[in-house]
């Protein structure tokens, strides 16, 4: 008898008799050839009791410095926002935690209604009429948007802004290589996508033009101008006979990766001419979890509905005329359409999307705006305060909402180590993520509602000491000892 | 549960206040509310709120300076406005309209709906795991990296393929990784291959993945024993084939005895052999894909390793590969340094790159690792043995008179962890379809099996009980099937009109697809 099983010796006898075999061994012997049977025990430790497993996992957790253990300004895609207690409670309810994908709608109305509400919330946030029920996470949602564009217009190239998250660019490249598409990167100028290079790079072979809002460096892009320029450049190229795009209509699909927490105050992608908006849903009520699971969101204009990836819930009536919800437009999906499916997604992120819609409901209509304005004000304060320090300069002057980049005069790794000793994680080493030479010494600092003015002032104090220590190693030793 | 009172209390005055029909709990069904569905967008009132924003503690700066108005949103998104108690009631209320694994038997074939231990939720919620930022310095995330390293090692041992990347987000993402690895492997040898073979019994994710990875799907026939048709394989395996994707045991619940020969044919033309790990729960500690000759395996941590399914995710789809495929693994993987500490290894230039952001679904790794620690080597093997025993017992019960004549086993005699019945004779003799049987099972409090898959079985019912069910539950399920068939012999209209006791009855899916309404209309 193993953990979580329930077969007693009496059960076993009755079951073997019913099956008509003498042992469990016989069931396997009759089916698996000797040559591919494992003739030894797996080389894994023996099983542990529940309390011992807890202790082991608790010990591993204790060797991690979490956002609970230090003053953390880490961001770059995932953020330490407060997750309200009611989300924990709802996510642990058996009714949400333990069902499979709702294949039997009559007994899955709860989950299906959550999807329908989630889709509504994402449509509202993005100002785009159609949303799926979730994608895996941010970067793969960008790749999924690329695949939608490929199916839509059959062209050969993606043009991406260098302001897109490095993981998004790399994920897109990984996927695009499979189906043979090129990825062309447009550089930034003054912290935002270089408008001239952007317009130049987009032609009649451009399947999708992809940028981030705000971009990886935290800077607000002129999304309307980027969308308009992409469409104009694509159309002009088509008109000139430049490019051999196989579909009618010259404009590429304009895709934006957006940060959902900014959408209470930032002009939404739908109002900026964006065709497909995707993004990382973690800021909306999901834990950091060392990078996952969270959810990705995927919203689009109506014309892309039948090419959307993943599950979509729709409203209908039952035989008694009662309102209900079902998975709909399933002829897009792998289990029906197989090799002609719009994506291979089966299991996505339903539970994490639940956290997302509950979080948005918890914030409410005014709350999302208030939170956005608070982040905006504190981020501005933090940038100005830190940039005033000796040896620190802001990388950009443009508006930022929740994150910003600084260039530090000194060895960033040593500075970050110094800060860590004082219980402060000052942010992300951008070069380590982007690999771009110009990002050496650049620190990306993220602000959430959990980081107060006092916390920002503390960061300034510790950062200043760390910078001073750069120029006076003796002082560094003293500080560490203190 | 006092659902009548609940309904009265929940309902707004004058809106659809009605008692729950007394038959709502008939047949042992889970109590589910039969309230009229109103979305969260149809509740609350302007000005209500749950969130209290922290006060502005920094100097006020001009709005225009912070964010020029041309970037500003003119109208806030129309999110709901509810108090916290209202939010709780709303979501707890609709949760009761879900059936779930903790409430009853869920024999959904190919999905491995085994018990989800609550210990896993507790350890995953520890702040050291749950609030750990993915970009924390590796030196200060050693516990997480060690956990990932140990999980990589365990999955390598279970699969017999020692090189593991935990990155893929779910089974289908693992499949895509696998096929892209196959592409990278061939390209590295200077070969461009165009075809991937998949059996006609394959999960739909297989062919969908093949297309996404830029290959052409070539279907393989199934032989009369339920395995790959070897002659068909020999005819189609050529030097333009990059890979064969196989599930073993396959989606008929049968172990393909010709696996060694299949591997030989595939490797003979220089192609790779890919193992879809959806059915790994049948063979843990008993037979290993690596020993069968597979080059690439994906795992579904949300199947064999008890990550709760969450109503459609999250999942996690790690992959394990042989030495020759290892240089191409998606980055990053966790490596152990000489000093015993752990680091994120970005792999070399040959890596296919990232499949997603950060390191994968770590929260799922915590749960799967806790499960492996709980069971250990013997426990994993016991789990697979019990899963196969339970499946064969349930199959035996369904081969009794009164059932077998209507729902014969599609292939084979014994099965592995699941089996496929054909509802063809039932449809002919009793005039009820597999769908009707499935819907009638809802009235008996059971989740139906997977239906109409695999495609080559007429009116298929794919049944996977898992190891965590008791004999009593299996007996009760077999009895329910027998009763529904007997009832249908008397009056097929009952099953044809089922279900009767669920929050809603059969839904018009055609209308939903024809005129899609996929969001709440807002005033």
Give the closest residue to B375 by CA, choosing from B320, B308, B443, B304.
B304
Contacts of B211 in chain A (CB under 8 A): 339-341
- Helix then strand count (H, E) for chain B reads 17, 12
B99 Cα to chain A: minimum distance (Å): 5
For residue B522, the model assigns a pLDDT of 94
Which residues between 183 and 242 in chain A have a beta carbon less than 8 angstroms from any beta carbon of chain B? 220, 222, 224
Q: Say what percent of chain A tops pLDDT 90.
A: 89
Best of B24, B45, B70, B135 to disrupt the A interface (most A CBs within 10 Å) is: B135
Q: Are A343 and B212 in contact (CB under 8 A)?
A: yes
- How far from the centroid of its chain's Cα atoms is residue A185's Cα? 21
- Best residue in B167, B357, B367 for a mutation probing chain A (most A CBs within 10 Å): B357
Q: Which residues pair with A298 in a beta bridge?
A: A278
In Å, how far is B286's CA from the nearest CA of chain A? 5
Residue A372's CB: how many other CB atoms inside 10 A?
24
Strand order in the sheet with B241-246: B163-165, B319-321, B296-298, B272-276, B241-246, B195-199, B216-220
Task: Reply yes or no on whether the pLDDT at A237 is more than 60.
Answer: yes
* pLDDT at residue B482 tops 70: yes
Is pLDDT of A246 > 90?
Answer: no
pLDDT at A188 over 70: yes
Can you give the pLDDT at residue B17? Answer: 42
Residue B67 corresponds to which tokens in the numbers above?
């964010």
- Give me the mean pLDDT over the B372-376 stretch: 98
Over 70: is that where the pLDDT of B27 sits? no
Q: What is the pLDDT of residue B35?
A: 55
pLDDT tens-digit map of B401-422: 999 999 999 999 999 999 999 9
Q: Across residues B229-238, what is the average pLDDT?
A: 98
Chain B residues touching A345 at Cβ < 8 A: 170, 172
CA distance A233 to chain B (A): 23
Using CA coordinates, name the residue in chain B closest to A312: B518
Query: Which chain B residue lies closest to A176 (C-alpha atoms)?
Result: B213
DSSP type of residue B310: T
Distance CA B78, CA B91 (A): 19
* Tens-digit pLDDT profile for residues A23-64: 999 999 999 999 999 999 999 999 999 999 999 999 999 999
Partner-chain residue, chosen from A24, A90, A113, that has the shortest CB–CB distance to B385: A24
Flag if B135 and A139 touch (Cβ within 8 Å). no
Nearest CA in chain A to B47: A366
String of b and e for B474-488 (b: at least 16 CB within 10 Å)?
bebbbebbbebbebb
Chain B CB within 8 Å of residue A470 CB: no
What is the distance between the alpha carbons of residues A436 and B264, in angstroms, rounded to a whole number? 46
Res. A345 pLDDT band, cuts 50 70 90: confident
DSSP state, residue B78: -
pLDDT, residue A335, reads 86
Mean pLDDT calculated for residue range B369-392: 98
Question: Which of chain A's residues have a Cβ under 8 Å away from the Cβ of B373?
Answer: 45, 47-48, 53, 56-57
> Where in B257-332 does DSSP place strands (E)?
272-276, 296-298, 319-321
Q: What is the pLDDT of residue A475?
A: 57
Has residue B14 got a pLDDT over 80?
no
CA-wise closest residue to B320 among B164, B151, B153: B164
pLDDT digits (tens, 9 = 90+) for B303-331: 999 999 999 999 999 999 999 999 999 98
Angle CA B84–B86–B87, to nearest 5: 65
Statement: residue B372 has pLDDT above 80: yes
Nearest-CA distance A462 → chain B (Å) = 18
**Do A171 and B353 count as a contact with CB atoms less than 8 A apart?**
yes
Of B288, B363, B438, the CB nearest to A289: B363
Interchain proximity B131–A103, CB inside 8 Å: no
User: Strand A442-446 and strand A403-408: pairing?
Assistant: antiparallel
Indicate if the pLDDT at residue A482 is higher than 50. no
Contact B61 A20 (CB under 8 A): no
pLDDT of residue B16: 43
* Residue A473 binned pLDDT confidence (cut-offs 50, 70, 90): low
Contact between B439 and A84 using a beta-carbon 8 Å cutoff: no
Rounded CA separation B498/B370 (Å): 41
Measure the CA–CA gap between A354 and A359, rounded to whole angstroms: 8
Q: Does A330 touch chain B (CB under 8 A)?
A: yes
Average pLDDT (A387-406) is 96
Q: Above pLDDT 70, what percent of chain A?
A: 95
Average pLDDT over residues A372-397: 97
> pLDDT at residue A479 above 60?
no
pLDDT in tens, B65-117: 999 999 999 999 999 999 999 999 999 999 999 999 999 999 999 999 999 99
Per-residue pLDDT reduced to its tens digit, A325-334? 999 999 888 8
Range A79-98 average pLDDT? 98
Per the document, the length of chain A is: 482
> Is A82 within 8 Å of chain B by CB?
no
What sign does the dihedral B264-B265-B270-B276 (CA atoms) show? negative
DSSP-derived letter for residue A45 is P
d(CA A282, CA A288): 7
Among B120, B373, B342, smallest CA distance to A64 is for B342
Per-residue pLDDT averaged across A160-186, rounded?
97
B26 pLDDT above the threshold of 80: no
Taking 60 as the threshold, does the pLDDT of residue B18 lie above it? Answer: no
Average pLDDT over residues B210-229: 96
Q: Cβ of B472: how many Cβ atoms within 10 Å? A: 10
Q: What pLDDT is recorded for position A471?
A: 79
**Does the distance separating the beta carbons of A179 and B214 come in below 8 Å?**
yes
pLDDT at B34: 53
Please give the sequence-ordered ranges of beta strands (E in DSSP) within A146-221, or none if there are none.
157-161, 182-186, 188-189, 192-193, 206-213
Subunit contact A45:B180, Cβ cutoff 8 A: no
Residues B423-462 have pLDDT tens digits of: 999 999 999 999 999 999 999 999 999 999 999 999 999 9
Write down the pLDDT at residue A80: 98
Residue of B nearest to A425 (CA): B136
Q: What is the pLDDT of residues A415-444, one digit of tens each?
A: 999 999 999 999 999 999 999 999 999 999
Rounded Cα distance between B151 and B141, Å, is 16
pLDDT at residue B511 is higher than 60: yes
Q: Is residue B346 predicted with pLDDT exceeding 70? A: yes
Cβ-defined contact of B503 to A12 (cutoff 8 Å): no
CA neighbor of A363 nearest in space, from B55, B92, B53: B53
pLDDT of B129: 98
Q: Count how many pairs of residues, chain A against chain B, have C-beta atoms within 8 Å.
A: 722
Which of A225-229, A237-241, A407-411, B469-473 shows the lowest mean pLDDT across its residues?
A237-241
Residue (of B416, B420, B383, B429) closest to B398 by Cα position: B420
Contacting A residues, span 331-370, partner chain B, CB-CB under 8 Å = 331, 333-341, 343-352, 354, 357-358, 360-370
Across residues B288-293, what is the average pLDDT? Answer: 97
| Predicted-complex ipTM score | 0.96
- Which among B100, B121, B212 has CB closest to A99? B100
Q: Which residues of chain B are within 8 Å of residue A367 when distances are taken between CB atoms? A: 49-51, 53, 79
The pLDDT score that the predictor gives to residue B7 is 37
Q: Is the pLDDT of residue A240 over 80?
A: no
Is the model's pLDDT at A247 over the cut of 50?
Answer: no
Residues of B in contact with A124 (CB under 8 A): 77-79, 522
Is the pLDDT at B6 greater than 60, yes or no?
Answer: no
- Across residues B39-65, what is the average pLDDT? 95
Q: Can you read off the two tokens belonging to residue A239?
A: 């008109």
Average pLDDT estimate for A343-357: 93
The predicted-structure confidence for B177-194, as pLDDT tens digits, reads as follows 999 999 999 999 999 999
H or E segment and range at residue B447: none
Q: Which residue of A has its CA nearest to B521?
A: A120
The mean pLDDT of chain B is 93
What number of other Cβ atoms are within 10 A of residue B62's Cβ? 7
């Amino acid at each position: 008898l193993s953990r979580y099983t329930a077969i007693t010796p009496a059960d076993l006898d009755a079951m073997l008799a019913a099956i008509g075999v003498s042992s469990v061994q016989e069931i396997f012997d009759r089916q698996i050839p000797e040559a591919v049977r494992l003739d030894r025990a797996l080389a894994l430790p023996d099983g542990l009791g529940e309390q011992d497993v807890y202790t082991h996992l608790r010990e591993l957790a204790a060797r991690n410095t979490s956002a609970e253990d230090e003053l953390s300004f880490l961001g770059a895609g995932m953020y330490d926002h407060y997750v309200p207690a009611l989300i924990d409670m709802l996510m642990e309810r058996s009714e949400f935690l333990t069902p499979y994908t709702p294949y039997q709608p009559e007994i899955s109305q709860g989950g299906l209604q959550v999807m329908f509400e989630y889709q509504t919330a994402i449509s509202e946030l993005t100002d785009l009429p159609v949303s799926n029920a979730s994608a895996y996470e941010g970067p793969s949602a960008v790749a999924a948007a690329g695949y939608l564009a490929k199916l839509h217009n059959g062209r050969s190239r993606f043009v991406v802004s260098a302001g897109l998250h490095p993981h998004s660019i790399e994920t897109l490249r990984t996927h695009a290589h499979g189906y043979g598409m090129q990825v062309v990167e447009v550089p930034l100028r003054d912290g935002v996508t270089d408008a001239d290079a952007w317009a130049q790079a987009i032609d009649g072979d451009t399947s999708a033009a992809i940028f981030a809002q705000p971009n990886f460096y935290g800077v607000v892009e002129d999304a309307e101008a980027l969308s308009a320029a992409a469409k104009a450049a694509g159309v002009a190229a088509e008109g000139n006979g430049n490019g051999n795009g196989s579909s009618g209509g010259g404009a590429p699909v304009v895709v934006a990766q957006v940060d959902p927490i900014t959408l209470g105050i930032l002009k939404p992608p739908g109002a900026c001419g964006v065709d497909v908006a995707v993004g990382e849903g973690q800021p909306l009520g999901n834990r950091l979890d060392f990078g996952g699971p969270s959810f990705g969101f995927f919203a689009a204009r109506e014309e892309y509905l039948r090419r959307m990836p993943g599950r979509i819930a729709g409203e209908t009536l039952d035989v008694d005329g009662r309102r209900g919800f079902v998975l709909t437009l399933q002829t897009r999906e792998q289990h029906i359409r197989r090799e002609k499916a719009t994506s291979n997604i089966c299991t996505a992120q339903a539970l994490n999307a639940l956290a997302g819609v509950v979080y948005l409901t918890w914030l409410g209509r005014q709350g999302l705006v208030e939170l956005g304005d608070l982040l905006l004000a504190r981020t501005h304060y933090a940038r100005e305060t830190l940039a005033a320090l000796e040896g620190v300069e802001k990388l950009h002057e443009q508006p930022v909402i929740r994150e910003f980049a600084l260039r530090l005069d000194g060895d960033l790794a040593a500075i970050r180590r110094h800060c860590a000793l004082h219980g402060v994680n000052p942010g992300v080493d951008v070069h380590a993520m982007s690999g771009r030479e110009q990002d050496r010494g650049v620190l990306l600092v993220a602000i959430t509602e959990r980081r107060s003015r006092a916390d920002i002032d503390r960061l300034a104090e510790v950062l200043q000491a760390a910078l001073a220590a750069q120029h006076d190693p003796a002082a560094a030793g003293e500080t560490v000892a203190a | 549960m006092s659902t009548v009172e609940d309904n009265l209390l929940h309902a707004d005055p004058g809106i659809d206040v009605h008692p729950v029909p007394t038959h709502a709990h008939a047949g042992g069904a889970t109590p589910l509310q039969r309230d009229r569905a109103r979305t969260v967008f149809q509740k609350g009132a302007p000005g209500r709120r749950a969130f209290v924003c922290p006060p502005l503690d920094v100097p006020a700066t001009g709005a225009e300076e912070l964010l020029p108005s041309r970037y500003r949103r003119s109208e806030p998104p129309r999110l709901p406005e509810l108090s916290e108690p209202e939010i709780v009631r709303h979501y707890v209320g609709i949760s009761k309209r879900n059936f779930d694994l903790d409430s009853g038997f869920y024999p959904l074939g190919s999905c491995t709906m085994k018990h989800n231990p609550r210990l896993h939720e507790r350890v995953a919620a520890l702040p050291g795991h749950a609030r750990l930022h993915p970009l924390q310095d590796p030196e200060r995330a050693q516990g997480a990296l060690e956990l990932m390293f140990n999980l990589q090692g365990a999955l390598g041992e279970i699969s017999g393929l020692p090189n593991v990347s935990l990155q893929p987000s779910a089974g289908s993402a693992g499949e895509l990784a696998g096929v892209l690895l196959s592409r990278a492997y061939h390209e590295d040898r200077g070969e461009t291959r165009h075809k991937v073979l998949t059996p006609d019994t394959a999960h739909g994710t297989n062919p969908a993945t093949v297309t996404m990875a830029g290959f052409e799907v070539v279907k393989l026939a199934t032989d009369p024993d339920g395995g790959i048709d070897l002659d068909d394989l020999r005819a189609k395996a050529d030097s333009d084939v990059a890979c064969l994707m196989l599930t073993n045991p396959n989606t008929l619940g049968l172990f393909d005895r010709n696996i060694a020969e299949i591997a030989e044919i595939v490797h003979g033309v220089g192609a790779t052999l890919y193992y879809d790990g959806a059915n790994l729960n049948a063979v843990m500690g008993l037979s290993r894909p690596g020993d069968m000759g597979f080059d690439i395996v994906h795992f579904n941590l949300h199947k064999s390793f008890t990550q709760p399914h969450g109503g459609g995710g999250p999942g996690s789809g790690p992959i394990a590969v042989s030495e020759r495929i290892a240089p191409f693994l998606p980055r990053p993987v966790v490596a152990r340094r000489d000093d015993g500490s752990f680091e994120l290894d970005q792999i070399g230039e040959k890596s296919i790159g990232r499949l997603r952001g950060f390191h994968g679904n770590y929260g799922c790794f915590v749960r799967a690792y806790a499960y492996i620690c709980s069971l250990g080597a013997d426990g994993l093997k016991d789990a697979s043995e019990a899963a196969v025993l339970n499946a064969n017992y349930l199959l035996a019960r369904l081969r009794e008179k009164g059932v077998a004549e209507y729902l014969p086993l599609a292939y084979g005699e014994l099965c592995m962890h699941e089996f496929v019945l054909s509802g063809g004779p039932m449809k002919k003799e009793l005039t009820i379809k597999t769908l009707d049987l499935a819907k009638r099972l809802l009235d008996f409090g059971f989740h139906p099996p997977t239906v109409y898959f695999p495609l080559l079985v007429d009116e298929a019912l794919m049944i996977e009980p898992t190891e965590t069910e008791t004999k009593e539950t299996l007996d009760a399920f077999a009895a329910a099937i027998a009763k529904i068939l007997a009832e249908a012999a008397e009056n097929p209209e009952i099953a044809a009109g089922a279900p009767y006791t669920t929050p809603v009855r059969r839904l018009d899916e055609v209308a939903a697809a024809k005129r899609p309404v996929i969001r709440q209309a807002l005033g």
